[in-house]
Homo-oligomer: A and B are copies of this chain.
Amino acid sequence: MEERTEVTTLGEFGLIDYLTRNIEIQQASTIVGVGDDGAVIDHFGKQTVISTDLLVEGIHFDLAYVPLKHLGYKSVVVNLSDIYAMNAIPTQITMSLAFSNRFPVEALNEFYEGVYAACETYGVDLVGGDTSASLKGLLISVTAIGEVAPGQFVKRSTAQKGDILCVTGDLGAAFLGLTMLEREKKIYLESPGVQPDLENRTYILGRQLKPEARKDIIEFLADQGITPTSMMDVSDGLSSEILHICKQSNLGVVLYEEKIPIHQETKEVAMNFGLDPTAAALSGGEDYELLFTLKQDDYDKITLNENISPIGYMTENSEGAHILTKGGNKYKLVAQGWNAFEQ
Contact = CB atoms under 8 A, between A and B. Distances in A.
A104 interface: no
Given A42-B48, A48-B145, A139 B136 contact: no
Contact of A130 (B53, B86, B98, B135): B53
Tell me the number of copies of this protein: 2
A150 interface: yes
Contacts of A141: 52, 54, 96, 130, 141
A30 B145 CA distance: 14
Contacts of A88: 38, 40
Nearest to A11: B335
Given A59-B134, A135-B59, A51 B39 contact: yes
A58 B55 CA distance: 19
Nearest to A240: B13
Of A40, A49, A130, chain B has the most CB atoms within 10 Å of the CB of A40
B94 A143 contact: yes
Contacts of A130: 52-54, 141
Contacts of A231: 37
Interface string A228-246: 0001110000000000000
Interface of A: 31-32, 35-43, 45, 47-60, 82-83, 85-86, 88, 92, 94, 96-98, 127-137, 139, 141, 143-146, 148, 150, 153, 155-157, 231-233, 248
6 closest cross-chain pairs (CB), A and B: A141-B141, A38-B51, A37-B85, A37-B82, A41-B48, A143-B143
